[in-house]
Structure 1
Amino acid sequence: MPSALERLQALLGEPEEAWGWPRREVWEASEQHLGVTLPADYKAFMDVYGPGTLDGYLHLDRPTGLMTPAELEDFWSLEAWRDARRGCEDLYPFPFHPDPGGLIRWGHDEHSSEYYFLASDPDPGNWEIVVGSECAEWYRTSGTFTDFLMRCFDGLDRAPFMDRAWPGGDASYEPFDM
């Protein structure tokens, strides 16, 4: 049986501008900065497709090259969210990285919802996906990055505040202009 990553690649087809090779140095620098190992399927997907947009709706992020420590901090920082959470845990029920078990952002959508890994397990393969809306609604689901995306395409898993028109009938991935 094909993995969720293989199914997703079959659905999306070959990228127009394939990144084509693992960015080991980029991931190592990011993981050293974060102090955690990122999920393997996220890195594998992003190494093939690069940063871009699924069906013009879900924007997927990753560093695009080697970065200085300040650039890594800017890319991965959730300090504003950490500040907002202080004293408002009822609005923000999850900690934000680098707090232990905190959320690590990997994307956002056209309606300003944010997509995160919940880094609460030592094994990144067991991290859950959390989606937060701009109205402080939260959705939490198990499964890997590619499991979650495939369940969205299969119509089996989605936050109630996600756009019901997404995903459309023809799945596509558009890389960001770099």
Structure 2
Amino acid sequence: MSTAADVDALLRLMPPPEDGGRAVDWGRMEQSWGRPFPPDYRRFMEVYGAGVVQDFLVVVAPQPKAPLAEAGWDGMVQETGNAEDAWADAYKAPELEGTSPRLIAWGAAASADIMCWDASGDDPAAWPVLVFNRGEIRFSRYDCGMAEFLTRLLRGDFPKCPLGDVTLWERGQAAFEKLG
């Protein structure tokens, strides 16, 4: 489902920062979270790093799984906790009813939407994207990786906008600003 090559399509729509991405100790991340990360996310971090798409959607940096007090209040651990909390009370798309996914957040939008992987499977390349649309109080599943999700969002290649705000929907081109 996701490959490092999926970032190539995104490069045509969203130029990376001039100073490139960031080095990540993926072995440490895998040990911490108990699983490897998807290949497109790994390549995204190499090429782009953590940052903000069009001052609207934050792609969070990988960080070791730790108690929130140690991890900080504005990253992968915090957003994963937010997604897990939302899961308990949110509506679910029919294909998610009765499931208990292992959530790992990779992004958050200014509309308070959260983008995660369903990291339940053994193959991170096959992890689908789950989106918590805060406005609808609903989780939906998208059978693609994070880079393809961003590409399809910018192209408007879903039946409807998966987020609670249309800032990036059908935008075509987008600016990316690296954080830190």
Task: Return the letter of the residue paired with 2:173.
Answer: D
Moved more, 131-140 or 30-39: 131-140
Q: How does 1:118-137 map to 2 (within 5 A)?
A: 118-135=118-135, 136-137=137-138
TM-score by length of 1: 0.76
In the alignment, residue 37 of structure 2 is paired with which amino acid? L
1:16-35 counterparts in 2 under 5 A? Answer: 16-19=18-21, 22-23=23-24, 25=25, 27-35=26-34
Counterpart for residue 116 of structure 2? 116
The equivalent of 2:166 in structure 1 is 164
| Residue in structure 1 matched with residue 17 of structure 2 by the alignment | 15
Q: Are 2:142 and 1:144 equivalent residues in the alignment?
A: no
Provide the residue aligned with 1:105 in structure 2: 105
The offset of 1:14, in angstroms, is: 3.6
- Give the letter aligned to residue 174 of structure 1: E
Aligned length: 165
Q: For the Cα contact (< 8 Å) 2:128–2:145, is it kept in 1?
A: yes
For residues 68 and 111 of structure 1, the distance between their equivalents in structure 2, rounded to whole angstroms, comes to: 25
What is the CA deviation profile of residues 34-82 of structure 1, one whole-angstrom value per residue up to 9, with x for unaligned ones?
A: 1011101101101221111111111000137xx6955459752545654
Could you report, residue by residue, the CA deviation over 1:70-95 in whole angstroms, capped at 9, with x for unpaired residues? Answer: 54597525456546656x4xx2657x
Report the Cα offset of residue 143 of structure 1.
Answer: 1.1
For structure 2, the residue ranges without an aligned partner over 5 or more in a row are none
Pair 1:173-2:168 in alignment: no
**Structure 1, unaligned stretches of length 5 or more?**
95-99
For 1:11 and 1:123, the matched residues in 2 are separated by: 27
The one-letter code sitting in structure 2 at the alignment partner of 1:119 is A
Counterpart amino acid of residue 125 in structure 2: G
CA contact (8 A) 2:52 2:177 kept: yes
Give the RMSD, CA atoms, in angstroms. 3.1
Q: Which has the larger radius of gyration?
A: 1
Using the TM superposition, give the Cα deviation of residue 152 of structure 1 relative to its aligned residue in structure 2, in angstroms.
0.9
- 1:153 correspondence with 2:154: yes
Following superposition, the deviation at residue 10 of structure 1 comes to 2.6
Amino acid at match of 2:103: L
SS of the equivalent of 1:140 reads: strand
For the Cα contact (< 8 Å) 1:101–1:121, is it kept in 2? no
Please state if 1:38 is matched with 2:37. Answer: yes
In structure 2, what residue type is equivalent to 1:142?
A: D
SS in 2 for 1:115: strand
Q: 1:173/1:80 Cα in 2 relative to 1: closer, same or farther (>3 Å)? A: closer
